[in-house]
């Protein structure tokens, strides 16, 4: 294999640039040509593809976001769009692809491989940490630390005014960010999509805290909790505990930005190298991940479809430490 391409797709995640850097320099080290595709699958269709050199990725390991940009592509969902993307790659003699993104990115890559057989290796780049086949995904650690910094500040004002704060973090289908923030931020309760927590559970937790002379509380809510978002949950709780001063803070997209942590930079660098080596060694239609600190390759279909359950010990730890 002499020519490969790399692109980022879906939601951005801190550490994507570190992964791009690793892919480019690993490919050059192995005497390969490497191309960058801008704007994900849209760029692949439109031919927004350029040859990358070592200097193309200078001074970027510390930068958040993605220099290759990202976009969601409706055209790639059509056969006509995928044919145009294939033609663009063939015009440049590209023999393999490295895709950095989440389940939507890998779903597209899986279909593209089935139709055209271009070897593709995916690097898991999503703050949600919800992909089966890797203990951690690129951007997760940074997102947790960003959210935790905000929660620490919110706790200061909660304690100063004897308030209850419902803090909403990202996680439409996954509670990984919420559970880590709950433990690290000393939350009284964590609400995640993977477990059932009723409004009565929230009310009882706050009442029990008040009985123990707790004057302030933090409830961390994953945006995809079955009871609704933080505003909806707080509103229902206020109807039953009107004497409490209840506030809501939605952290939103700040969790996606910022300089990646050392953990994410190293993880992204390892995954980038492993992706290039995987292509060279004949891996195709797989996601590269780190499990028990070792490189593993997992078929796209399995990485996308198999659920990645929360660690039950962490859920138990939240309950114990909130007493």
Domain ranges in the chain are: 3-139+260-305, 142-256
pLDDT tens-digit map of 198-219 = 999 999 999 999 999 999 999 9
User: Are the C-beta atoms of residues 246 and 163 closer than 8 Å to each other?
Assistant: yes
User: Are the C-beta atoms of residues 300 and 286 closer than 8 Å to each other?
Assistant: yes
User: Are the C-beta atoms of residues 86 and 116 closer than 8 Å to each other?
Assistant: yes
Residues 6+ apart with CB under 8 A from 145: 261
pLDDT (0 to 100) of residue 97? 98
Q: Is residue 26 predicted with pLDDT exceeding 80?
A: yes
Q: Is residue 19 predicted with pLDDT exceeding 80?
A: yes
Residue in the structure block whose two tokens are 């909130």 = 322
Residue in the structure block whose two tokens are 């590209």 = 94
Tokens of 31: 């005497």
CATH C-level class of 142-256? alpha beta
Q: Looking at the structure, give the CATH architecture of the domain made up of residues 3-139+260-305.
A: 3-Layer(aba) Sandwich (3.40)
Residues 6+ apart with CB under 8 A from 290: 134, 135, 136, 267, 270, 271, 296
Residue in the structure block whose two tokens are 């059932």 = 196
Q: What distance in Å separates the CA atoms of residue 300 and residue 199, rounded to the nearest whole number?
A: 37
pLDDT (0 to 100) of residue 109? 96
Q: Is residue 20 predicted with pLDDT exceeding 80?
A: yes
- Read off the pLDDT band of 322 (50, 70, 90): confident
pLDDT (0 to 100) of residue 72? 86
Model pTM? 0.96
From the list 128, 130, 225, 264, the catalytic residue is: 128
The arithmetic mean of pLDDT across residues 17-45, rounded, is 98
Burial class (CB in 10 A: 0-12, 13-18, 19+), 211: exposed
Mean pLDDT over all residues of the chain?
Answer: 96
Q: What distance in Å separates the CA atoms of residue 98 and residue 110, rounded to the nearest whole number?
A: 12
Share of the chain above pLDDT 70, in %: 100
CA distances, 14 to each of 74, 78, 132, 255, 296 (Å):
25, 30, 20, 9, 22
Q: What distance in Å separates the CA atoms of residue 182 and residue 190, rounded to the nearest whole number?
A: 6
Angle at 12 between CA 82 and CA 77, to 5 degrees: 20
Nearest to 197 by CA among 186, 187, 207, 189: 189
> What length does the chain have?
323
In the annotation, is 128 catalytic? yes
pLDDT (0 to 100) of residue 323? 75
Burial class (CB in 10 A: 0-12, 13-18, 19+), 238: middle
Q: Is residue 179 predicted with pLDDT exceeding 80?
A: yes
Q: What distance in Å separates the CA atoms of residue 255 and residue 142, rounded to the nearest whole number?
A: 8
Tokens of 251: 């952290």
Residue in the structure block whose two tokens are 């940490």 = 129
Same fold, 3-139+260-305 and 142-256: yes
pLDDT (0 to 100) of residue 304? 93
């Amino acid at each position: 294999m002499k020519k490969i391409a790399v692109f980022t797709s879906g939601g951005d995640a801190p550490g994507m640039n570190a992964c791009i850097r690793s892919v480019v320099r690993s490919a050059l080290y192995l005497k390969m040509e490497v191309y960058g595709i801008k704007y994900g699958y849209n760029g692949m269709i439109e031919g927004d593809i350029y040859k990358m050199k070592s200097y193309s990725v200078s001074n970027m390991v510390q930068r958040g976001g993605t220099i290759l940009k990202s976009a969601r592509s409706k055209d790639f969902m059509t056969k006509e769009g995928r044919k145009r993307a294939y033609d663009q790659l063939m015009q440049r003699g590209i023999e393999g692809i490295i895709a950095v993104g989440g389940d939507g990115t890998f779903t597209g890559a899986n279909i593209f491989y089935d139709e055209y057989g271009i070897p593709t290796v995916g690097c898991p780049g999503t703050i949600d940490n919800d992909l089966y086949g890797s203990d951690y995904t690129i951007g997760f650690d940074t997102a947790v630390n960003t959210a935790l910094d905000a929660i620490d500040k919110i706790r200061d004002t909660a304690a100063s005014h004897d308030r209850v704060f419902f803090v909403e973090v990202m996680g439409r289908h996954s509670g990984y960010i919420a559970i880590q923030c709950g433990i690290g931020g000393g939350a009284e309760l964590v609400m995640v999509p993977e477990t059932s927590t009723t409004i009565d559970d929230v009310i009882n937790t706050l009442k029990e805290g008040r009985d123990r002379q707790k004057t302030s509380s933090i409830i961390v809510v994953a945006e995809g909790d079955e009871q609704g978002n933080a505003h909806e949950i707080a509103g229902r709780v206020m109807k039953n505990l009107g004497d409490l001063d209840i506030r809501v803070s939605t952290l939103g997209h700040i969790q996606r930005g910022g300089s990646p942590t050392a953990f994410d930079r190293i993880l992204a660098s390892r995954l980038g190298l492993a992706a290039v080596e995987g292509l060279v060694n004949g891996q195709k239609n797989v996601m590269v991940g780190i499990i028990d600190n070792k490189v593993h390759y997992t078929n796209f279909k399995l990485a996308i479809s198999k659920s990645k359950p929360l660690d039950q010990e962490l859920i138990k730890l939240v309950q114990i430490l909130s007493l």
